[in-house]
Structure 1
Amino acid sequence: MDTSTLTTVLEDAGLSPYQADAYVTILELGSASATDIAEKSDVPDPRIYDVLRDLEKHGYIETYEQDSLHARAYSPDSVLEDLRERADRFEQAADEIEDRWEAPTMDSHTVSFVKRMDTVLDKAETKIREAVNQVQVAADREQYERLRPALKAAHENGVHIRLALYLEEGESLPPKEELDSVATQVRYRAIPMPFIALVDRTSTCFAPHVLSANRYGIIVEDRTHAYVFHWFFMAGLWESTEPLVEDTDDSLPRTYVNIRQCIRDVWPLLEDGATLSVSVEGLEVESGSTVSFDGKIVDVSYPSLEAAGTDAPFLYLGGQATITIETDDGTVDVGGWGSVIEDYEATKIVLEGVTYE
């Protein structure tokens, strides 16, 4: 550190410019007369005596008479201790500012409330890039633009993405080619809606819509809360939007991340006597461990759908939704998000083949 920088740091630590200059000069000279100190520093001659007395009062130097007033530096222990205490306080203040400005760490908080929308979007962007199976996002045009690169990256990695866009009056829709590159399904509406991003049934980022009187964000790392937000997204937002991009590809293999949609599609095939080959990725309900297996669908159980008919909006039909699959190790029951009575909770079901005997 050069002399100029050291002088500036001492000023930041509470010394006046003349005091800092004089003290650094005394350190360099070892001991010297007041006249020499004034000459070697930028302290004016008439001020040097007052400056030296102030430095002595603060414990930086001691003065003594030797024909004329002289000064020498004290042992720097007390000065160093003071500087280090100040440095610690600055560091603590910086940490406190960061804690109040940023979101609390996810390591120790399941639910975190934050003040800045940027914090919510930063976390959503990170989670979307890390997504493995599915993402659900409701966003306005500006939020969408912020997350578009992350959505595109996740879509290219094979993640199933539902995107609900809020467009203000006069805002144009993004080009269809662009939307095709960022999401599996895209819908929009002109009514304001909150920001929400749900990733892999575990992470939720939420903030009220722009017209809300409450300005805050919530970041949740919890499957149960994510399940609640999922149904809010589907029933409260998704169903009130207009389709822009739909997943209309009926070719095989066909991937499902929603077991109810899978059942709606395979039920008629099963009734017609088709043999349906599938692969499943998911969790063992009892242990929570990840599993993957292949097999053939032999039955489905969806009482709400059977009662309402296949033309009913499946999103509003709750209750049991189970697919029975015959595997090499026996027959197992597979449920969807929130499974409790089945053997496995499917995160992804791939219809590999449909054959008729």
Structure 2
Amino acid sequence: MNESTLTTVLEDAGLSPYQAEAYVTVLELGSASATDVADKSGVPDPRIYDVLRDLEQRGYVETYEQDSLHVRAYSPESVLEDLRGRAERFEDAAKEIEGLWESPEIDSHTVSLVKRIDTVLDKAEAKIRAAENQVLVAVSQSQYVRLRDALQDAHDRGVHVRLAIYAEDSSNHSLPPESEFRTVATEVRHRSIPMPLIVLVDRTATCFAPHNLSTNRYGIIVEDRTHAYVFHWFFMAGLWESTEPLFTDEGESVPRTYVNIRNCIRDIAPLLEDGATITATIQGINVESGAEVTLEGEIVDIDYPSLEDAGRDSLFSYLGGQATIIVETDEGVSKVGGWGAVIEDYEATRIVIEDVSYE
């Protein structure tokens, strides 16, 4: 580092230009008279005495009388400590700025674009660990490993987890064993075509990033029900229905839990046609007030116009349109819809079929 650069750095550290020039000159001379320092540093003679006294007060130099005012540099330890401390603070500030820029604080109803996929994964992990009802996940194998512990934690707490995993080689040697999948998800599927990263949590939060082979390297973090609804349909229609089943713990026996009303209707429609009595517990939200509710009663009918047209054996679980369950409770008859319900009394977040019986 040359003299000019050193002087500039000292100015950045808080010295005035005259103080920086005088201090560098004192370091070079070792000890010298004030007038010699002024001549060599270019500090005006009338100013040199004030400059040296200011440096002395800061602990950079000491002055002494020897026919005239002389000056010598103190041991640089205190100066070096100050400079290193400043360097650390600058480095910490740089990291903080980088973090705030790449991982902005998420307010309600926001869409944030981030540059690092790790930021998306960090937010996805945090959201999964806070999940209360359901999680939909599409990941590569490496991303699955990153989120595995959070998924296991959510699954252990009774959260309904659907996991779609991209595996170029779907052999048993490449994918985790079923025994592991049983600890992290309610249902697992796979496909050999790359998928974007999508994590949807409790119908409110979405974390998205293009797949690893994409030329676009960015991530989106969304905390908004409307956007989450759009990503939900992309997940179901664009990813989930194109995957191959690996594991599910959703057997035919009851009680059986659903977080998708269309899947529930698909299964109970033929039972109702055959005259079955179906009792259920439905957790949901009052469409008008937004209050959480629990309904317990008998499912007496369904209203799903697409069902008859699609055919019971057709793939219709992701079709749009009305999907309503009519349930009779002790308080009366109520209409229950799925995610985004507007014409029903309640939006179901979880449906548990408690019993199916025939007279």
Give the structure-2-normalised TM-score.
0.78
Q: 1:309 and 1:47 mapped to 2: Cα distance?
A: 95
Counterpart of 2:297? Answer: 295
Counterpart of 2:330? Answer: 328
Q: 1:109 and 1:294 mapped to 2: Cα distance?
A: 32
- Return the letter of the residue paired with 1:61: E
- Return the letter of the residue paired with 1:96: I
Report deviation, 1:353: 1.4
Q: 1:126 and 1:294 mapped to 2: Cα distance?
A: 32
Report deviation, 1:67: 3.4
8 Å CA contact 2:33, 2:68 repeated in 1? no
Q: Which deviations, in whole Å up to 9, do the C-alpha atoms of 1:152-189 show, x marking residues without a partner?
A: 11111111111111112488111111112111111111
Distance 1:244 1:291, change over 3 A: same
Q: 2:206 and 2:301 mapped to 1: Cα distance?
A: 33
Q: 1:109 and 1:278 mapped to 2: Cα distance?
A: 33
Q: Does 1:345 align with 2:320?
A: no
SS at match of 2:263: helix
Report deviation, 1:314: 2.0
Q: 1:136 and 1:264 mapped to 2: Cα distance?
A: 20
Q: Which deviations, in whole Å up to 9, do the C-alpha atoms of 1:63-98 show, x marking residues without a partner?
A: 5756342569xxxxxxxxx99xx79x9476554222
Q: Which deviations, in whole Å up to 9, do the C-alpha atoms of 1:1-25 show, x marking residues without a partner?
A: xxxxxxxxx999367xxx99x99xx
Counterpart of 1:48? Answer: 31
- Return the letter of the residue paired with 2:166: Y
8 Å CA contact 1:335, 1:346 repeated in 2? yes
Matches within 5 A, 1:121-200: 121-169=121-169, 172-200=174-202
Counterpart of 2:278? Answer: 276
Q: Which deviations, in whole Å up to 9, do the C-alpha atoms of 1:32-60 show, x marking residues without a partner?
A: xxxxxx9xxxx68x423389867953843
Q: 1:48 and 1:285 mapped to 2: Cα distance?
A: 83
- Return the letter of the residue paired with 2:159: V
Report deviation, 1:261: 0.9
Q: 2:108 and 2:273 mapped to 1: Cα distance?
A: 50
Counterpart of 2:213? Answer: 211
SS at match of 1:60: helix
Q: Which deviations, in whole Å up to 9, do the C-alpha atoms of 1:207-226 show, x marking residues without a partner?
A: 00111111000000011101
8 Å CA contact 1:298, 1:324 repeated in 2? yes
Q: 1:236 and 1:50 mapped to 2: Cα distance?
A: 81
SS at match of 1:250: coil
SS at match of 1:49: strand
Which piece of structure 1 moves more, 309-318 or 184-193? 309-318
Q: Does 1:61 align with 2:61?
A: no
- Return the letter of the residue paired with 2:204: T
SS at match of 2:234: helix
SS at match of 1:314: coil
Q: 1:316 and 1:50 mapped to 2: Cα distance?
A: 88
8 Å CA contact 1:195, 1:209 repeated in 2? yes
Q: 2:343 and 2:204 mapped to 1: Cα distance?
A: 20
8 Å CA contact 1:134, 1:200 repeated in 2? yes
Q: 2:316 and 2:241 mapped to 1: Cα distance?
A: 11
Counterpart of 1:97? Answer: 98
Matches within 5 A, 1:9-20: 13=13
Report deviation, 1:276: 1.2
Q: 1:159 and 1:108 mapped to 2: Cα distance?
A: 23
Which piece of structure 1 moves more, 206-215 or 167-176? 167-176
- Return the letter of the residue paired with 2:158: G
Counterpart of 1:35? Answer: none
When the two structures are aligned, how many residues end up with a matched partner?
Answer: 315
CA RMSD across the alignment: 3.3
Distance 1:327 1:99, change over 3 A: same
Q: 1:210 and 1:246 mapped to 2: Cα distance?
A: 27
Report deviation, 1:315: 2.5
8 Å CA contact 2:286, 2:292 repeated in 1? yes
Distance 1:339 1:168, change over 3 A: same
Q: 1:224 and 1:177 mapped to 2: Cα distance?
A: 36
Which piece of structure 1 moves more, 47-56 or 154-163? 47-56
8 Å CA contact 1:61, 1:71 repeated in 2? no
Report deviation, 1:317: 2.3
Give the structure-1-normalised TM-score.
0.79
Q: 2:257 and 2:318 mapped to 1: Cα distance?
A: 22
- Return the letter of the residue paired with 1:344: Y
Q: Does 1:256 align with 2:258?
A: yes
